[in-house]
Amino acid sequence: MKRNMILFLLCQLLVLPVAAKEKAAQVVAHRGCWKADHSAQNSIRALELANEMKVYGAEFDVHLTADNIPVVFHDSEIQGIPIQTSLYADIKELKLPNGERLPTLEEYLEKGKGLPHIKLIFELKSHATPERNREAAQISVGMVNRFGLQDRTEYITFDLEAGKELIRLTSGVPVAYLNGDLAPERLYELGFSGLDYPYTTMKEHPEWFAEAREYHLTVNVWTVNDPEQIREMIMQGADYITTDEPSLALDVAGVVVD
């Protein structure tokens, strides 16, 4: 009996490191790896560098122009010109800080298709009306599908209308909500696969980690750049950490699970 108990405990010790590794948080490069030389937020180069760093995914932001061309950029304006009310022809030659031309979604996905080991974390930006949000979702999903990237694209959005349309248009593709104002139970009822909330929100609602697990929702925390905060969120049970410091986050995540 005693011998059997010793064998059981030894088996448990062997299994624990494996279980810990399975629970390690994945790292998402916020707007790609943009702090490196010759890179910029949401640039093609930032996507390439994120792939080279072997993070889980590169997050990027998409707006529709007035003539329905999706472009990759975070802010609502580029060089003082509003993106969503401008024709693509009026902004297409504008440059990012690293000298790259403003990328279209088509160009970004084309590059991403050739980088098969990284997930594309597609943030659909909020548009002016519910109808425009639905239209942006339809155009976005259609283009991702045309490139055959359904299995490598995960959608996130602040806008509920866009989120609902993304859920309706996709099957089994992750769609997470960013705004931080809904509890996991409500997100589950709406059909979201996960919550993608800021650090301050998850700090205020630590109970949402357990509630998310109860409803089989993933938890991503953004934008976490401090090593202690990264460690804290991983220990709480975050599945993903979105960060401007992906190399640092990879190091911290490795220490937490070792």
pLDDT at 96: 98
For residues 198-218, average pLDDT: 98
Higher pLDDT, 17 or 148: 148
pLDDT at 8: 40
pLDDT at 21: 38
For residues 35-57, average pLDDT: 98
- Domains along the chain? 26-253 (3.20.20.190)
User: pTM, whole model, 2 decimals?
Assistant: 0.91
Close Cβ partners of 62 (under 8 Å, ≥ 6 residues apart): 70, 71, 72, 105, 122, 123, 124, 125, 136, 140
pLDDT at 57: 98
3-state secondary structure of 167: helix
pLDDT at 23: 61
Lowest mean per-residue pLDDT among 3-17, 94-108, 208-222? 3-17
Q: What are phi and psi of 175, to 5 degrees?
A: -135, 120
pLDDT at 24: 84
The tens digit of pLDDT for each residue in 221-236 reads 999 999 999 999 999 9
pLDDT at 258: 58
- pLDDT higher than 50, residue 9: no
- pLDDT higher than 50, residue 6: no
- Residue 58, number of CB atoms within 10 A of its CB: 29
pLDDT band, very low/low/confident/very high, at 134 (cuts 50, 70, 90): very high
pLDDT at 257: 58
Average pLDDT, the chain: 92
Contact 113, 51 (CB under 8 A): no
- pLDDT higher than 50, residue 190: yes
Contact 41, 102 (CB under 8 A): no
The tens digit of pLDDT for each residue in 17-35 reads 333 334 689 999 999 999 9
pLDDT at 158: 98
Here the tokens at position 68 are: 């329905």
